[in-house]
Amino acid sequence: MNPSIDPTDGATRDALARSPKVLLHEHLDGGLRTSTLLELLRERGQAAPASDAAALGRWFDERAHSGSLERYLEGFSLTVPAMADPHALHRVAFEAAEDALADGVVLAEFRIAPLLFEAFGLDGDTAVEAMVSGLRRSGLPSGLIVCAMRQEDEAQTRRAADLALRWSGRGVVGFDLAGPERGFDPSRHARALALVREAGLPITLHAGEADAGERVLQAARLGARRIGHGVRLAELLDGPRRSAVLAEVLQRDLHLEVCPTSNLHTAAVAAIAEHPIAGLWQAGVSLSVNTDNRLMSRVTLGNEFHTVLAHTPLGPVDLLAMTLEAARHSFLAAPERERARDAVWAHAQRTGATGALAALLRERGLPGPPAGRPPAA
């Protein structure tokens, strides 16, 4: 617990809301507005577990805090069918970008498995086109990551990879393996991952969330530049292999997309105060704070920033440095990454944090302020 942060302090929340943020890990089918989901369910004639948006929010909240991954995942059986329409996908993507923009996000990447909609009569290309157009309608610089489901066979993963490559440079910025981790070794999909990697499309893989920390290294060796979650890497850093593991992580410049509240809800950690984010960051690992599923976990990125400050030893300057790292590791084009970095430095200058931020980055061997911006407040 950070005694200098009052979780009920409105001024702290306001300051965090104004802080520029970079979002790298959010699932579109886990981030709908409750009001939108209710409307989409009604449009498609699907039964809703609640009669109004507030009650539907409570339904998701109960599952998030149930301590059961299975109950947490029940929500996706509602959202995926409700979204299986081009208009709905366009709307959900647009609203996700607009909600992020309102939360102070200056650059974002959203992800989803488009082939999930085939079961409802919607082909992957149509689904991607609808979501890309929805993201572009917003003023937020953003991109789409295509996920394959790791429990599927290699042929299906290859189809998802081909889909991602067809849309590479047209709104799709990366490729991912999502789905249940334990029991579904990512090396089963090595050929599809090699195809994506050799084509130059960046890869981020879910790893080290529900399975051992060794999966993080395995994902990196399969070509992942970023890792979704990756929190169990901390187990390796607490063991006799610490030096070798840390050296490999740093040599690869691997970045973890950490989602603290989701990690609690899916039982990856027992409590936020026990979350390894601080230990990983203090060890020198590059990472950022993310939402994962705003609807399922009932969070915003601003909430997650506040949670980290309130329940870990990390401070506001750490969050600014993490945001710079998120921008540096984003799969979006260089000009968009640079504008996001500029926004963080401008905020640091306004709040008198420039000197402390520059010092922390020097300590970690990371890039400092852009040319022309002073290293002190």
Across 8-12, 248-252, 352-356, least confident range? 8-12
Residue 200 CB-half CA count within 13 A: 4
Please give the DSSP secondary-structure letter assigned to residue 362: H
Does residue 129 belong to any structural domain of this protein? yes
Does residue 43 belong to any structural domain of this protein? yes
Does residue 2 belong to any structural domain of this protein? no
Q: Which helix (DSSP H) or strand (DSSP E) does residue 21 occupy? A: strand 21-23
Determine contact, residues 51/59, Cβ cutoff 8 Å: no
Question: 139: Cβ–Cβ under 8 A, 6 or more apart, which residues?
Answer: 101
Higher-pLDDT residue of 211, 166:
166
Does residue 290 belong to any structural domain of this protein? yes
- Quote the pLDDT of residue 12: 64
Does residue 186 belong to any structural domain of this protein? yes
The pLDDT tens digits of the residues spanning 47-97 come to 999 999 999 999 999 888 877 767 787 889 999 999 999 999 999 999 999
3-class secondary structure for 101-153? HHCCEEEEEEEECHHHHHHHCCCHHHHHHHHHHHHHHCCCCEEEEEEEECCCC
Higher-pLDDT residue of 2, 66:
66
Please give the Cα distance from 43 to 225 (Å, whole number). Answer: 40
Across 59-73, 297-311, 353-367, least confident range? 59-73
Helices within 274-374 (DSSP H only):
277-282, 294-297, 301-311, 316-329, 334-350, 354-364
Q: Is the pLDDT of residue 377 over 60?
A: no
Average pLDDT over residues 18-39: 96
Q: Angle 204-209-212 (CA atoms, 0-180°, nearest 5)?
A: 105
- Quote the pLDDT of residue 181: 81
> Of 152, 209, 257, 325, which residue is the catalytic one?
209
Q: Is the pLDDT of residue 119 over 50?
A: yes
| CATH code (residue 44) | 3.20.20.140
Instruction: Give 76-87 as a DSSP string.
Output: HHHHHHHH-SHH
Does residue 373 belong to any structural domain of this protein? no
Q: Is the pLDDT of residue 265 over 60?
A: yes
Determine contact, residues 355/361, Cβ cutoff 8 Å: no
Of 344, 280, 284, nearest to 316 (Cα)? Answer: 344
Of 151, 223, 227, 146, nearest to 191 (Cα)? Answer: 223
Task: Count the domains in the chain.
Answer: 1
- Quote the pLDDT of residue 373: 56
- For the chain, give the mean pLDDT: 93
- Is residue 209 annotated as a catalytic residue, yes or no? yes
- Quote the pLDDT of residue 78: 94
Residue 126, Cβ density class (10 Å: 0-12 exposed, 13-18 middle, ≥19 buried): middle
- Quote the pLDDT of residue 370: 85
Average pLDDT over residues 266-283: 94
Phi-psi region of 22 (alpha: psi -120 to 50; beta: other; left: phi over 0): beta
Question: 239: Cβ–Cβ under 8 A, 6 or more apart, which residues?
Answer: none
Average pLDDT over residues 271-281: 96
The pLDDT tens digits of the residues spanning 242-263 come to 999 999 999 999 999 999 999 9
Does residue 161 belong to any structural domain of this protein? yes
Structural domain range at position 24:
10-364
Confidence of residue 231 (pLDDT cuts 50, 70, 90): very high
Does residue 1 belong to any structural domain of this protein? no
Q: Which helix (DSSP H) or strand (DSSP E) does residue 288 occupy? A: strand 286-289
Q: Is the pLDDT of residue 173 over 60?
A: yes
- Quote the pLDDT of residue 376: 43
The pLDDT tens digits of the residues spanning 194-222 come to 999 999 999 999 999 988 889 999 999 99
Residue 103, Cβ density class (10 Å: 0-12 exposed, 13-18 middle, ≥19 buried): buried
